[in-house]
Structure formats: C-alpha cells, structure tokens
Structure 1
C-alpha cells in the first residue's frame, strides 16, 4: 500500500518507519528541511531504541523516503496520515492550527479517493473539522479517519509492530476496509483492531491517558498517607495490584509523571469537558496531585538539610521523564534541579541519553557526569529521579566511598530501604514509612 505521513516527529517517524517495515511504500513529509536532509542521510532526530536501525534498513530497501514536498508524498498515496504537533494552547486546549493547515494542503493536492487519517492526538470533533477543511478545497472523494496512537516512549517499535489494540474511527465501510488491510500485518496473531465512530476514537486516546495518570496520582496520594501512618506503599501496591480487577500496571508511586502526553492530554480532556458544561473534578485533582508530587524530592531534602542549601553539592541520576528516551518534557528532574539551584545548591547530573536535552534547559548551570559514579563524587546527597536499569544495581560500597554524605533520595523506590540503611545510607523513598 502507498502511504504518506505528514510530520516526522516522534509519532510520525515511528509510524512511517513501522508501516515501511510492514512492506508498504511510505513517504514521510515535513516542512523542516534540515530534519528531512538529516533523515535522508540517516540522522534520526529522536532517541528511540531500534528506530535508527529500522529507518536505515527501510530507506536502503526503498520502502521509506523523506521529502519536504507535500504533493510528492500525498498524490500517489492511498492513505495519508496527519501526525503533526498539537501543542498546548494558552488555555490548556490542544492547538489544532498545524492539523488543519495540513488538512488544507492535503485537500489541494489529492487527485483520487484518499483516506486521510488523524494520527495526532486531537480533541473530540477534530475529524469533522478536518473533513470541512478538505472539502472546502477539493471535489475529490475522501474519508477522514481517527486512528490515535498508543505508543510508549522507549517501547514504541514493539508497541507498533505488536499492538495491544488498534483503534480506528471511521464513518464508511470503504475506509474501514482500507484501514483494516493496512493494519492486518501487525495483528496476525490476534485481531486487535477495534472499529468505532470517529468521535469515540478521538475520546478513547484521552480517556486512556487520563485513566493511567489517575492511577499514578492515586498511588502518589496513597504514598503520602503511608508516610503519615507508617505504612509502606510498596506493600500496599502489591496488595491491591494482586486483585485481578485492578492489576499491577501504573501503580508505582514516585516523583510524578511527565512527558508530552499525560499532562497535556489531561488538560485537553478537561478543556473538552468544560466546553460541554461538565466540571471534570477528578481530572483537576489528578493534575493538582501531580504538580505537588514534582516538588516532593525537594521537600524531603529541605526537611533533612534545612532550607539553606548554599554550598552543598547534589548528584542527580536520571534527567529524562522516563527510561529509554531523551525526552525531558514535563520531567520531574526539571522541577527538582531548579528548586535545588534556587536554594543555592550545585548540581551534577547523569543520564544515559538525555544530556543534550538537559543542556537546552539548564545550559552550564549544572555539571554533567559521563558515568553514574561521576555524579556522586563529593556530593552531600543523591537523587534518583529516572529508573534507568543501570541505576538499579550499583556498587553501593563505591558509591558510599565517593559521597561526602551517604544520603539517597529515591524518587522511584528502586532500592530496598532496609538494605540501604544496613549499608550505612540515610535513605528517603516515596511512601516507605514515617521517616520519609
């Protein structure tokens, strides 16, 4: 099948590459000439395990190409995906200007029946707006489909190639058949395609992210309660997660959630509810809890050291909002580091892949260590913010010998509190008892 993908950001590039891996002829279109030139030369602008190799393999095979010429990509295509950014607007709603501009441009160049697919995360009713924009500039037959993505950064390739589900919102049988054929190679073991109307599909993406974010915020509130009553949130997590009606996923207490999806999607969904006369109180609470949780590690440090951190040096393990990505959007490390700097402290940080992303935010205001141990030498305390695997089993004796003060603030509950204290560390986790 001939496919065009408008946008070479995270969603667009992953989708284009995976569709090419499935045997389709795919053209990825972007107005950013530097990015397209880089992709033509094998330079992948985002970090995602396995993506660079897959881009190179499919480009070499001739199944994946890149262009700034929208007509070149769209005219031959049977299916055109819109995967441009939907940044948060001033009022928290999703900004659709790039989606609608892409729709108009697509409408101007299509010459035969085309399925136009909203792949970007967009609010309810966007498919109708896209349909209106295209119809205003062409008489060619087309359908608009909503096909939200459910990719996890760090596991996007596996998620796409072997999806839990593929949600397709379509209003015609013709569009459903084409989309079903396109996704069939990715659902050979089980038919995981769920067809529905476009508005339900649009809402499904927001509902999924809001539900997951709610679980996280609930557990973070439980962690605070655990610290008040002397309980261990890890024990509580195992106790409730063993209930088959609840399950263990997304029940980890920690230093808040971040990234480009959860915070933005919660605000957008709340905005949709508000526009329709509904005060979605639960979503307001989820967002409020998360904002407060981003300050939890700094609050623990201030209780331990006092409010004046002048002259103290702190190490930070993990800068990205989650492992296996260099994405620092809404990362809890930002709130922590800005708070430490604001209190007069110095910071040295290590992350396996996010140093360059961090430099764009902090510049030379912090130091960057090439290794985890470089980020603990001479420090008054260590903050573990992102649970990269390499942080899970360090040489604790080496850590302790390098640190000025053997104090660890574990923002992801990676370490065992009892064993840490037996090793001689002053340990602070999230919801691990009254002394936290």
Structure 2
C-alpha cells in the first residue's frame, strides 16, 4: 500500500521506517528542511538503536523517501498518518493540537481523492471528530475516513515494539478505515499480534488510560520505596513479591527518581484536563502527577542529606541525564530538577551521559555544570556520585577504581543497580532507593 506520514519526529520516523520494512511504499513529510536533509544523508534526528540501518535499508530499496512537500506525496495514497507533536499547552496542561489541525487543513486542501486519515499522534478524546469536521470544511474529497491508531512504543526499544506489539489498537467508525488499516498491518498477522477494533473515541482514550496506569505503577512503587526506607524493608523484594502476582505483573515496578519522557508527564496532564472538561474527577491520576513532581524535586534534598545537610562548595558527579537509557530524550527528565537544584544550592556538577549531553545543555544551568567525556572523567575528584539513568555502561563500573578517583565516599544509586555489600566493600557510603 502507499502510505504518507506527516511528521518525522519519534513516532512518525519509527512508524514510517517500519511500515516501509513491511513492504509498503512510505513517504515521510516534514516542514523542517534541515531534518529532511539530515534524513536524506541517513543522519537520524533522534537517537534510537537500529533506526539508522532500518532507514538506510528501505531508502536503498526504494520503499522509503523524505520530502518537505506534501502534494507530490499524495497521488495514489491509501492512508495518511498524522504523527506531529502534541505538547502540553502552556498554562493549562491540555494537549496542544495546533500542529495536528494545521496538518489536516493543509492535507484537506491538497487531496484529490479520498484517503484514510489516521492519527498516530496522542490526542484527546474527540480529536478525530474535529479532524473529520475540518476535512469537510476545507473541501476534502467525499469519502475520506478518519481513524485513530495510537502508538505504544518504548523509547530505546521502539522498532521491536512496532514489529512485535502487544496489541494493535484501531479506532474506526466505518468499514473502509478498518479494512485499510487491517491491510497495512497484515504483515504482523504472522506474529499473531492481537488487532483490537474499537470506536475512534475509545481508541483515543485508551492511549491516555494506558500511560496513566503505567505512571500510576511507577508512582506507587516510589511511595512504597519511601515507606521501605522508613521501616527497614527492601523495595526490590516488595516489587518482586507483588509483581509475581499475575494480576499485577512485574513491569514498571522499579523504584527511582520519578518518571519523565515525552509521554507520561504530558499525557497524565492531558487526561486530567479531559476529565475536568467532562465534569469527571480523576483523583488517582491527579495524585500520581503530584507524587511524581514531588519525587523529582526531592532528589536534590537526598544528595544534601547524604552530604551532611549542604552541598555548597562540593563537587557532585552525575551519571546519566536522559530520562531513560537508549535514548537522547531529555523531556521532563529527573536529572533536570536535580542538577538545577544542586547548582542553585552551590554545588559544582560534573555530568556525563553516553548520548544525551547536547540535548541536556538547554535544560541545565550555563554555569556550574561541566560535561565530561566519560564516566571516569565525571567522577574524578567528586565528593559524591549520583547515578540517575541506568545506562548499561554504568552497571559494571569498577567500584574500587571509582572510589579511588573520588575525593569523597558518597554513592547515591537512584536506580538500584548495585548491591550494598559490593559498594560498601569498595569503601562507599551507599545510598540506594527504598533499600
């Protein structure tokens, strides 16, 4: 089939490359000429393992192309996926749909035959209805359909998630949309991926509900971690003990410095605004957001406490800046309030991240932060070491060498990647989470 993807951000680029790898012909359209020029040179605007080789392979085979012009991509198109950003709207936290609606207006004016318009972007309930209205108002050809096909991709594992999904969720109100999307995803039938057909509004809400539920699990285990510290229990054992219950499951029960990234923070806020507009109170989700904000803002106080109540004049090494490993995404990363507060309180921060430092710089203070060329450079001379992101290369550090390179002995392991015994044998005052 012939597919057009509007937007070459994280979702659009991964989706377009994977659709092309299924054998479809895909044209990715983006208004940013620099981004398109990068992609034509096979330079990825995002960091995702395996994406560059997937893009290169399908471009070479003639199944994937990039352009800034929408019109030439539309002839013979069967489906157009909208995969533009929906950031939190400043002031009220609702999803900003400006980019979505602008893309739909331009599409409507340039279409010459009916297509299925599919939202991949995460959008509030009722957005599909508004898209259908805009298509009609802007003179799109009769017979266009609108569907919702939310993504459930984990950054760092997006390609595997796309090709081996837990489920494919399709929200459509007519047979044409259902059949076109069924054909697009037909290659995944071999993997026996469940395909769930629901109404458009149900699909839109399901995406938000899924992310809010996962965020709830994270905030819950973080609260349990605080309780474990207070009563002398081990949160990792607690998580294992409840996670083995099939009704709960083990995923997203890892205590840490709070969730961040492109989805959970903005989607929980958008869900709250949707509920508010519908006159429904979402007390649980509201509490999840507050717990997470407090969690991230409280990490600097942990460092202060470990340092005897003050970090003024101290050097703190920070390993890991991105919100999770295997991505360069800094959106709402827990490292941001941590580093900013440490510097504000008079500390000097020596930071290192394998791929995220350039993306981190706009979020960090200009003065007070030094970006190292490796973990040992960041650690050198530090009074305290804080592990914020659990990159694989931080999991097997030579703790004896680390301790020898440091001035102090404080190791704050915000991801629980080390055991207390090994850290203490190396001479550290070890401070994990919830243990």
Q: Quick check: TM above 0.5?
A: yes
Matches within 5 A, 1:159-178: 159-178=161-180
Match of 1:283 among 276, 281, 285: 285
- The residue number in structure 2 matching 1:396 is 399
- The residue number in structure 1 matching 2:422 is 419
Which moves more between the two structures, 318-327 or 350-359? 350-359
Instruction: Measure how far apart 1:350 and its partner are.
Output: 1.0
- Contact 1:254/1:412, CA 8 A, preserved across alignment: yes
Cα separation, 2, equivalents of 1:407 and 1:187: 52
- SS of 1:294's equivalent? helix
- The residue number in structure 2 matching 1:380 is 383
- The residue number in structure 1 matching 2:353 is 351
Cα separation, 2, equivalents of 1:204 and 1:310: 47
- Contact 2:317/2:351, CA 8 A, preserved across alignment: yes
Instruction: Measure how far apart 1:20 and its partner are.
Output: 0.7
Which 4+ stretches in 1 moved above 6 angstroms?
Answer: none
- The residue number in structure 2 matching 1:96 is 97
Measured on the aligned residues, the alpha-carbon RMSD in Å equals: 1.1
Q: Any gaps of 5 or more consecutive residues in structure 2?
A: none
- The residue number in structure 1 matching 2:211 is 209
- Contact 1:297/1:409, CA 8 A, preserved across alignment: no
Cα separation, 2, equivalents of 1:195 and 1:118: 15
- The residue number in structure 2 matching 1:196 is 198
- SS of 1:348's equivalent? strand
- SS of 2:165's equivalent? coil
Could you give the per-residue CA deviations for residues 313-361 of structure 1, whole angstroms, max 9, x where no partner exists? 0101100000000001000011110011001110111111111111232
- The residue number in structure 2 matching 1:118 is 119
- Contact 1:227/1:431, CA 8 A, preserved across alignment: yes
1:20 aligns with 2:20: yes
- The residue number in structure 2 matching 1:298 is 300
Could you give the per-residue CA deviations for residues 21-71 of structure 1, whole angstroms, max 9, x where no partner exists? 111111001111111122112121110000011111111111111111111
Instruction: Measure how far apart 1:370 and its partner are.
Output: 1.5
Instruction: Measure how far apart 1:308 and its partner are.
Output: 3.4
Cα separation, 2, equivalents of 1:297 and 1:191: 40
- Contact 2:307/2:410, CA 8 A, preserved across alignment: no
Cα separation, 2, equivalents of 1:146 and 1:320: 30
- SS of 2:102's equivalent? helix
- Contact 1:307/1:343, CA 8 A, preserved across alignment: no
Cα separation, 2, equivalents of 1:367 and 1:165: 44
- The residue number in structure 1 matching 2:107 is 106
Could you give the per-residue CA deviations for residues 143-189 of structure 1, whole angstroms, max 9, x where no partner exists? 00000000100000111111111100011112111100100112312
Instruction: Measure how far apart 1:243 and its partner are.
Output: 1.1
- The residue number in structure 2 matching 1:329 is 331
Matches within 5 A, 1:124-143: 124-138=125-139, 139-143=141-145
Cα separation, 1, equivalents of 2:55 and 2:309: 50
- The residue number in structure 2 matching 1:249 is 251
- The residue number in structure 2 matching 1:149 is 151
- The residue number in structure 2 matching 1:266 is 268
Instruction: Measure how far apart 1:307 and its partner are.
Output: 4.1
- The residue number in structure 1 matching 2:54 is 54
- Contact 2:25/2:63, CA 8 A, preserved across alignment: yes
When the two structures are superposed, what TM-score results if normalisation uses the length of structure 1?
Answer: 0.97
- Contact 1:258/1:330, CA 8 A, preserved across alignment: yes
Could you give the per-residue CA deviations for residues 53-100 of structure 1, whole angstroms, max 9, x where no partner exists? 111111111111111111112233110000011111120000111111
- SS of 2:288's equivalent? helix
- The residue number in structure 2 matching 1:36 is 36
Cα separation, 2, equivalents of 1:41 and 1:189: 32
1:406 aligns with 2:405: no
Name the count of aligned residue pairs. Answer: 432
- Contact 2:168/2:193, CA 8 A, preserved across alignment: no
- SS of 2:169's equivalent? strand
Cα separation, 2, equivalents of 1:78 and 1:220: 46
- The residue number in structure 1 matching 2:184 is 182
Cα separation, 2, equivalents of 1:387 and 1:54: 26
